[in-house]
């Protein structure tokens, strides 16, 4: 599975006239850039550790290394296991089963990640991951979230609320109520996309647009810390199951780019 973060293409050796023509083409008509994550975890047991501070490496290069709540003395609450492919890995979290406050603390605020309006971003984003739910019984199981904002008190909720796939920005919410629920015990690729310029909150399930809800503004909680596997860092939102390859983009990915991610393909430029 290739990505823009750590599976970059190797430069090919070009010689003679072919090289000159390619250089000229690049100058005259530069290729579109491939979208780049602002945060991405791969849960590789060769480099990641769930029991040390900053033990989950951020492969975006931005240095937002994650810390699992297992450092609080809950052995087994979060561990690295095999992913949905033979070559990939996932984070297994006990979540609400026995450890209600399981979470990855990224240390990055929503403002740092460009998920709220800044001088260089309107707050649009696309956030995605592979997930495999353990059960459907809890009110909230959030794949992505945030701490409450100091100024306005609200937090991000991207995940599942009962049987619905949920897109929550604290009173600025929508859900895919009429679409099939990703059932427990199966892998699904999930993506949440906020297009501030259009006002749309979009939910994708396995690369297919499951819900598009209009008239939504940006997430205005700049000082919230971005979380994975929970929201609020509490027992009212912890995810129970497997999370693989969480990726955060502070841009609006196209439908075909999200579909490619769900097919384990590189994102087209």
pLDDT score for 121:
87
pLDDT score for 7:
43
Give phi and psi for 158, each to the nearest 5: -120, 105
* The pair of three-digit structure tokens given for residue 144, joined into one six-digit string: 């992505």
Decide: 166 and 160 in contact? Cβ < 8 Å: yes
> Where do the domains of the chain lie?
16-262
Tell me the CA distances in angstroms from 222 to 121, 200, 239, one per residue in order: 12, 20, 24
pLDDT score for 24:
30
Q: Cα(first)–Cα(last) distance of the chain, in Å?
A: 16
Give the separation between CA 72 and CA 75, rounded to whole angstroms. 9
* The pair of three-digit structure tokens given for residue 113, joined into one six-digit string: 């990640």
pLDDT score for 226:
96
104 half-sphere exposure, CB direction, 13 A CA radius: 35
* The pair of three-digit structure tokens given for residue 38, joined into one six-digit string: 């602002």
pLDDT score for 178:
64
| Full pLDDT tens readout for the chain, 269 residues | 445 444 433 333 333 334 433 333 333 445 567 889 999 999 999 999 999 999 999 999 999 999 998 887 777 789 999 999 999 999 999 876 555 678 999 999 999 999 999 888 899 999 999 999 998 766 788 999 998 765 555 789 999 987 889 999 988 999 887 667 788 899 999 999 999 999 999 999 999 999 999 999 999 888 889 999 998 755 668 898 999 999 999 999 999 999 999 999 999 99
Q: What is the Rg, in whole angstroms, of the alpha carbon atoms belonging to the chain?
A: 19
Give phi and psi for 173, each to the nearest 5: -120, 165
| Tens digits of residue pLDDT in 195-206 | 999 999 999 999
Nearest to 141 by CA among 165, 105, 169: 165
| Tens digits of residue pLDDT in 60-98 | 999 999 999 888 777 778 999 999 999 999 999 987 655
Q: Which fold is adopted by the domain 16-262?
A: Jelly Rolls (2.60.120)
pLDDT score for 148:
76
The model's pTM is 0.86
């Amino acid at each position: 599975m290739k990505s823009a973060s750590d599976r970059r293409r190797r430069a090919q050796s070009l010689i003679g006239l072919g090289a000159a023509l390619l250089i000229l083409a690049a100058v005259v008509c530069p290729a579109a850039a491939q979208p780049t994550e602002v945060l991405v975890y791969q849960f590789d047991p060769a480099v990641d550790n769930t029991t040390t501070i900053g033990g989950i490496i951020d492969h975006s290069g931005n240095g937002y290394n994650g810390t699992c709540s297992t450092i609080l003395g809950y052995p087994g609450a979060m561990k690295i296991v095999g992913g949905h492919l033979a070559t990939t890995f996932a984070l297994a979290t006990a979540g609400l089963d026995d450890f209600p406050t399981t979470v990855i603390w990224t240390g990055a605020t929503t403002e740092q990640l460009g998920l709220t309006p800044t001088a260089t971003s309107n707050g649009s984003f696309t956030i995605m991951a592979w997930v495999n739910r353990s059960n459907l019984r809890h009110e909230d199981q959030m794949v992505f979230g945030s701490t409450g904002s100091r100024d306005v008190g609200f937090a991000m909720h991207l995940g599942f609320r009962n049987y619905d796939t949920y897109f929550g920005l604290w009173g600025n919410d929508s859900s895919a109520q009429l679409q099939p629920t990703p059932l427990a015990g199966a892998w699904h690729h999930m993506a949440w996309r906020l297009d501030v310029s259009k006002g749309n909150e979009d939910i994708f399930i396995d690369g297919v647009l499951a819900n598009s809800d209009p008239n939504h503004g940006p997430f205005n909680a700049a000082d919230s810390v971005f979380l994975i596997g929970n929201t609020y860092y509490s027992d009212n939102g912890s995810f129970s199951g497997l999370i693989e390859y969480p990726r955060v983009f502070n841009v609006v990915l196209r439908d075909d780019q999200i579909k490619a991610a769900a097919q384990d393909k590189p994102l087209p430029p």
